[in-house]
Amino acid sequence: MKVAIVGVGLIGGSIAITLREKKVATRLVGVDKSEHNLKKAIQLGLVDEGMTIDEAVDHCDVIFLTIPVDAILTILPPLLDRVTNQVIVDMGSTKERILARVTNHPQRGRLVAAHPMAGTEYSGPEAAVANLFKGKMMVYVDAMDSDEDAFETMEAVTEHLEMRTTFMNAQEHDVHTAYVSHISHITSFALALTVLEKEKSQGRIFELAGSGFESTVRLAKSSPDMWTPIFRQNRENVLEVLQEHIKQLQHIQEVLDNENYDAFYKLIKKSNKIRKILK
Protein backbone atom coordinates (compact mmCIF):
# COMPACT_ATOMS: atom_id res chain seq x y z
CA MET A 1 0.00 0.00 0.00
CA LYS A 2 1.35 3.39 -1.00
CA VAL A 3 0.75 5.96 1.69
CA ALA A 4 0.87 9.75 1.58
CA ILE A 5 1.33 11.79 4.72
CA VAL A 6 0.13 15.35 4.17
CA GLY A 7 1.79 17.25 7.03
CA VAL A 8 4.85 15.35 8.26
CA GLY A 9 4.66 16.51 11.87
CA LEU A 10 3.92 14.89 15.21
CA ILE A 11 0.80 12.98 14.13
CA GLY A 12 1.66 12.31 10.49
CA GLY A 13 5.24 11.35 11.29
CA SER A 14 4.18 9.02 14.09
CA ILE A 15 1.72 7.24 11.78
CA ALA A 16 4.48 6.88 9.22
CA ILE A 17 6.78 5.24 11.77
CA THR A 18 4.23 2.54 12.61
CA LEU A 19 3.11 1.92 9.03
CA ARG A 20 6.71 1.35 8.01
CA GLU A 21 7.52 -0.76 11.05
CA LYS A 22 4.51 -3.01 10.48
CA LYS A 23 5.29 -3.22 6.76
CA VAL A 24 1.84 -1.86 5.91
CA ALA A 25 3.28 0.89 3.74
CA THR A 26 5.41 -0.22 0.80
CA ARG A 27 6.10 3.42 0.00
CA LEU A 28 5.74 6.54 2.11
CA VAL A 29 5.28 9.88 0.44
CA GLY A 30 5.52 13.16 2.35
CA VAL A 31 3.70 16.37 1.47
CA ASP A 32 4.45 19.53 3.38
CA LYS A 33 4.26 23.23 2.63
CA SER A 34 7.46 23.61 4.62
CA GLU A 35 10.49 22.54 2.56
CA HIS A 36 12.46 22.35 5.77
CA ASN A 37 10.04 19.94 7.46
CA LEU A 38 9.87 17.77 4.36
CA LYS A 39 13.66 17.51 4.13
CA LYS A 40 13.85 16.75 7.83
CA ALA A 41 11.17 14.04 7.51
CA ILE A 42 13.12 12.38 4.69
CA GLN A 43 16.36 12.66 6.67
CA LEU A 44 14.69 11.08 9.70
CA GLY A 45 13.40 8.28 7.48
CA LEU A 46 9.77 9.07 8.22
CA VAL A 47 8.97 9.24 4.50
CA ASP A 48 10.82 8.09 1.38
CA GLU A 49 10.26 11.11 -0.82
CA GLY A 50 8.43 14.38 -1.17
CA MET A 51 5.69 15.19 -3.66
CA THR A 52 3.12 17.89 -4.31
CA ILE A 53 -0.31 17.04 -3.01
CA ASP A 54 -1.67 16.36 -6.50
CA GLU A 55 1.20 14.01 -7.32
CA ALA A 56 0.69 12.29 -3.97
CA VAL A 57 -3.01 11.70 -4.63
CA ASP A 58 -2.27 10.30 -8.06
CA HIS A 59 0.48 7.97 -6.79
CA CYS A 60 -0.89 6.73 -3.47
CA ASP A 61 -3.65 4.48 -2.18
CA VAL A 62 -4.24 6.19 1.14
CA ILE A 63 -3.73 9.89 1.89
CA PHE A 64 -3.59 11.01 5.53
CA LEU A 65 -4.38 14.64 6.24
CA THR A 66 -2.44 15.57 9.35
CA ILE A 67 -2.33 19.33 8.97
CA PRO A 68 -4.05 22.17 10.84
CA VAL A 69 -7.85 22.05 10.51
CA ASP A 70 -8.08 25.31 8.54
CA ALA A 71 -5.81 23.77 5.90
CA ILE A 72 -7.96 20.61 5.82
CA LEU A 73 -11.03 22.78 5.26
CA THR A 74 -9.39 24.40 2.24
CA ILE A 75 -7.79 21.43 0.53
CA LEU A 76 -10.44 18.79 1.10
CA PRO A 77 -12.93 19.75 -1.67
CA PRO A 78 -10.35 19.92 -4.50
CA LEU A 79 -8.77 16.76 -3.13
CA LEU A 80 -12.06 14.86 -3.38
CA ASP A 81 -12.52 16.25 -6.92
CA ARG A 82 -9.28 14.55 -7.91
CA VAL A 83 -9.78 11.23 -6.14
CA THR A 84 -10.93 8.06 -7.91
CA ASN A 85 -10.54 4.98 -5.71
CA GLN A 86 -8.06 6.27 -3.16
CA VAL A 87 -8.91 6.73 0.49
CA ILE A 88 -8.56 10.15 2.12
CA VAL A 89 -8.30 10.18 5.89
CA ASP A 90 -9.09 13.43 7.68
CA MET A 91 -7.36 13.31 11.06
CA GLY A 92 -8.29 16.79 12.26
CA SER A 93 -9.29 17.68 15.81
CA THR A 94 -12.60 19.27 14.77
CA LYS A 95 -15.20 17.70 12.50
CA GLU A 96 -18.45 19.63 12.08
CA ARG A 97 -17.30 22.32 9.69
CA ILE A 98 -14.96 20.08 7.74
CA LEU A 99 -17.58 17.40 7.13
CA ALA A 100 -20.30 19.96 6.42
CA ARG A 101 -18.18 21.38 3.62
CA VAL A 102 -18.06 18.07 1.70
CA THR A 103 -21.35 16.52 2.77
CA ASN A 104 -22.81 16.55 -0.76
CA HIS A 105 -19.59 15.85 -2.63
CA PRO A 106 -20.05 12.95 -5.07
CA GLN A 107 -16.80 11.41 -3.77
CA ARG A 108 -17.70 11.85 -0.05
CA GLY A 109 -17.53 8.05 0.35
CA ARG A 110 -13.76 8.06 -0.24
CA LEU A 111 -13.27 10.16 2.89
CA VAL A 112 -12.87 8.62 6.34
CA ALA A 113 -13.07 11.08 9.24
CA ALA A 114 -11.06 9.89 12.20
CA HIS A 115 -9.54 11.64 15.18
CA PRO A 116 -6.80 9.91 17.16
CA MET A 117 -6.98 11.05 20.81
CA ALA A 118 -3.23 11.10 21.17
CA GLY A 119 -0.49 13.66 20.96
CA THR A 120 2.11 15.55 22.87
CA GLU A 121 2.77 19.25 23.30
CA TYR A 122 5.52 19.09 20.67
CA SER A 123 5.23 19.54 16.93
CA GLY A 124 7.16 19.03 13.70
CA PRO A 125 8.81 15.91 12.26
CA GLU A 126 11.29 15.67 15.15
CA ALA A 127 8.34 15.24 17.50
CA ALA A 128 7.20 12.02 15.77
CA VAL A 129 7.54 8.93 17.95
CA ALA A 130 6.80 5.22 17.75
CA ASN A 131 3.84 3.98 19.80
CA LEU A 132 2.24 7.42 20.11
CA PHE A 133 -1.15 5.87 19.42
CA LYS A 134 -0.87 2.52 21.23
CA GLY A 135 -3.80 1.96 23.58
CA LYS A 136 -5.30 5.36 22.76
CA MET A 137 -8.75 6.03 21.31
CA MET A 138 -9.48 6.45 17.60
CA VAL A 139 -12.76 8.29 17.15
CA TYR A 140 -14.56 7.56 13.88
CA VAL A 141 -16.91 10.36 12.95
CA ASP A 142 -19.94 9.90 10.70
CA ALA A 143 -18.49 6.56 9.67
CA MET A 144 -21.66 5.61 7.78
CA ASP A 145 -20.86 8.29 5.20
CA SER A 146 -17.69 6.49 4.13
CA ASP A 147 -17.62 3.72 1.51
CA GLU A 148 -17.28 0.33 3.13
CA ASP A 149 -13.92 -0.47 1.54
CA ALA A 150 -12.54 2.96 2.49
CA PHE A 151 -13.59 2.47 6.09
CA GLU A 152 -12.11 -1.05 6.17
CA THR A 153 -8.78 0.22 4.86
CA MET A 154 -8.65 2.74 7.68
CA GLU A 155 -9.79 0.18 10.24
CA ALA A 156 -6.83 -2.00 9.32
CA VAL A 157 -4.52 0.99 9.90
CA THR A 158 -6.13 1.65 13.29
CA GLU A 159 -5.50 -1.97 14.25
CA HIS A 160 -1.86 -1.67 13.27
CA LEU A 161 -1.65 1.45 15.45
CA GLU A 162 -3.06 -0.75 18.27
CA MET A 163 -5.78 1.75 19.09
CA ARG A 164 -9.19 1.32 20.64
CA THR A 165 -12.11 2.66 18.62
CA THR A 166 -15.35 4.52 19.19
CA PHE A 167 -17.97 6.03 16.90
CA MET A 168 -19.87 9.28 17.07
CA ASN A 169 -21.38 11.98 14.90
CA ALA A 170 -19.63 15.25 14.12
CA GLN A 171 -21.67 17.33 16.53
CA GLU A 172 -21.05 14.98 19.47
CA HIS A 173 -17.37 14.79 18.59
CA ASP A 174 -16.92 18.54 18.67
CA VAL A 175 -18.75 18.93 21.99
CA HIS A 176 -16.80 16.11 23.64
CA THR A 177 -13.39 17.28 22.46
CA ALA A 178 -14.22 20.79 23.72
CA TYR A 179 -14.63 19.26 27.18
CA VAL A 180 -11.77 16.79 27.32
CA SER A 181 -9.16 18.35 25.10
CA HIS A 182 -9.70 21.93 23.96
CA ILE A 183 -10.50 23.39 27.40
CA SER A 184 -7.39 21.73 28.86
CA HIS A 185 -5.32 23.71 26.41
CA ILE A 186 -7.03 26.96 27.35
CA THR A 187 -6.45 26.41 31.07
CA SER A 188 -2.80 25.71 30.35
CA PHE A 189 -2.41 28.81 28.19
CA ALA A 190 -4.06 30.94 30.88
CA LEU A 191 -1.99 29.42 33.66
CA ALA A 192 1.23 30.01 31.75
CA LEU A 193 0.24 33.62 31.08
CA THR A 194 -0.68 34.18 34.73
CA VAL A 195 2.63 32.92 36.02
CA LEU A 196 4.80 34.44 33.29
CA GLU A 197 3.20 37.79 34.07
CA LYS A 198 3.96 37.43 37.78
CA GLU A 199 7.52 36.38 37.14
CA LYS A 200 8.20 39.70 35.45
CA SER A 201 7.63 41.56 38.71
CA GLN A 202 8.70 38.89 41.15
CA GLY A 203 11.42 36.80 39.49
CA ARG A 204 12.73 33.45 40.78
CA ILE A 205 9.20 32.08 40.77
CA PHE A 206 9.97 29.10 38.58
CA GLU A 207 12.67 27.79 40.89
CA LEU A 208 9.85 26.23 42.85
CA ALA A 209 7.97 24.71 39.95
CA GLY A 210 7.50 21.02 40.57
CA SER A 211 5.85 18.23 38.64
CA GLY A 212 2.33 19.41 39.54
CA PHE A 213 2.86 22.78 37.92
CA GLU A 214 4.58 21.22 34.94
CA SER A 215 1.71 18.83 34.43
CA THR A 216 -0.98 21.52 34.40
CA VAL A 217 0.98 23.90 32.20
CA ARG A 218 2.77 21.69 29.70
CA LEU A 219 0.05 22.05 27.04
CA ALA A 220 0.96 25.74 26.90
CA LYS A 221 3.88 24.63 24.73
CA SER A 222 1.40 23.70 21.99
CA SER A 223 1.70 25.16 18.51
CA PRO A 224 -0.44 28.25 17.77
CA ASP A 225 -0.53 27.24 14.08
CA MET A 226 -2.31 24.04 14.98
CA TRP A 227 -4.47 25.32 17.82
CA THR A 228 -5.79 28.68 16.61
CA PRO A 229 -7.75 27.02 13.76
CA ILE A 230 -9.13 24.39 16.18
CA PHE A 231 -10.56 27.11 18.41
CA ARG A 232 -11.87 28.96 15.39
CA GLN A 233 -13.74 25.88 14.16
CA ASN A 234 -14.98 24.78 17.55
CA ARG A 235 -15.62 28.28 18.88
CA GLU A 236 -19.21 27.86 20.11
CA ASN A 237 -18.57 24.65 22.05
CA VAL A 238 -15.33 25.95 23.53
CA LEU A 239 -17.02 29.18 24.64
CA GLU A 240 -19.69 27.15 26.41
CA VAL A 241 -17.16 25.04 28.33
CA LEU A 242 -15.00 28.05 29.07
CA GLN A 243 -17.97 29.87 30.55
CA GLU A 244 -18.75 26.89 32.81
CA HIS A 245 -15.10 26.56 33.78
CA ILE A 246 -14.87 30.23 34.75
CA LYS A 247 -18.06 29.79 36.78
CA GLN A 248 -16.46 26.89 38.70
CA LEU A 249 -13.38 28.98 39.39
CA GLN A 250 -15.49 31.91 40.55
CA HIS A 251 -17.35 29.58 42.88
CA ILE A 252 -14.07 28.38 44.38
CA GLN A 253 -12.99 32.01 44.68
CA GLU A 254 -16.20 32.90 46.51
CA VAL A 255 -15.90 29.95 48.89
CA LEU A 256 -12.32 30.89 49.71
CA ASP A 257 -13.19 34.56 50.00
CA ASN A 258 -15.92 33.68 52.54
CA GLU A 259 -13.55 31.32 54.36
CA ASN A 260 -16.08 28.55 53.98
CA TYR A 261 -13.61 25.69 54.39
CA ASP A 262 -16.28 23.02 54.79
CA ALA A 263 -17.56 23.90 51.34
CA PHE A 264 -13.98 24.01 50.05
CA TYR A 265 -13.33 20.53 51.43
CA LYS A 266 -16.48 19.25 49.74
CA LEU A 267 -15.48 20.78 46.40
CA ILE A 268 -12.12 18.98 46.48
CA LYS A 269 -13.84 15.77 47.55
CA LYS A 270 -16.28 16.11 44.65
CA SER A 271 -13.50 16.76 42.16
CA ASN A 272 -11.77 13.62 43.49
CA LYS A 273 -14.45 11.66 41.58
CA ILE A 274 -12.18 12.11 38.60
CA ARG A 275 -10.25 9.16 40.12
CA LYS A 276 -12.93 6.83 38.78
CA ILE A 277 -12.14 8.01 35.30
CA LEU A 278 -8.39 8.50 35.28
CA LYS A 279 -6.46 5.41 36.17
Nearest to 119 by CA among 132, 130, 131, 134: 132
Among 23, 43, 84, 270, binds a second copy (CB under 8 A): 270
Among 2, 27, 160, 245, binds a second copy (CB under 8 A): 245
Per residue, what are the HEC states of 110-147? HEEEEEECCCCCCCCHHHCCCCCCCCCEEEEECHHHCC
Per CB under 8 A, which of residues 109..138 are in contact with a second copy?
A: 117-121, 136-137
Closest CB 39 distance from a second copy, rounded Å: 24
Of 148 and 262, nearer to a second copy (C-beta) is 262
CB atoms within 10 A of CB 35: 9
Query: Can residue 171 be called a binding residue for a second copy (CB under 8 A)?
Result: no
* Distance in angstroms (rounded) separating the CA atoms of residues 188 and 159: 32
* Distance in angstroms (rounded) separating the CA atoms of residues 78 and 251: 49
Size of the site for a second copy (CB under 8 A): 91
Among 166, 169, 170, 171, binds a second copy (CB under 8 A): 166
Query: Can residue 176 be called a binding residue for a second copy (CB under 8 A)?
Result: yes
Closest CB 118 distance from a second copy, rounded Å: 6
Query: Can residue 201 be called a binding residue for a second copy (CB under 8 A)?
Result: no
Query: Can residue 246 be called a binding residue for a second copy (CB under 8 A)?
Result: yes
Cβ–Cβ < 8 Å for 108, 76:
no
Query: Can residue 197 be called a binding residue for a second copy (CB under 8 A)?
Result: yes
DSSP string, 174-236: HHHHIIIIIHHHHHHHHHHHHHHHHHHHH--GGGG--HHHHHHHGGGGS-HHHHHHHHHHTHH
Query: Can residue 14 be called a binding residue for a second copy (CB under 8 A)?
Result: no
Of 93 and 107, nearer to a second copy (C-beta) is 93
Query: Can residue 222 be called a binding residue for a second copy (CB under 8 A)?
Result: yes
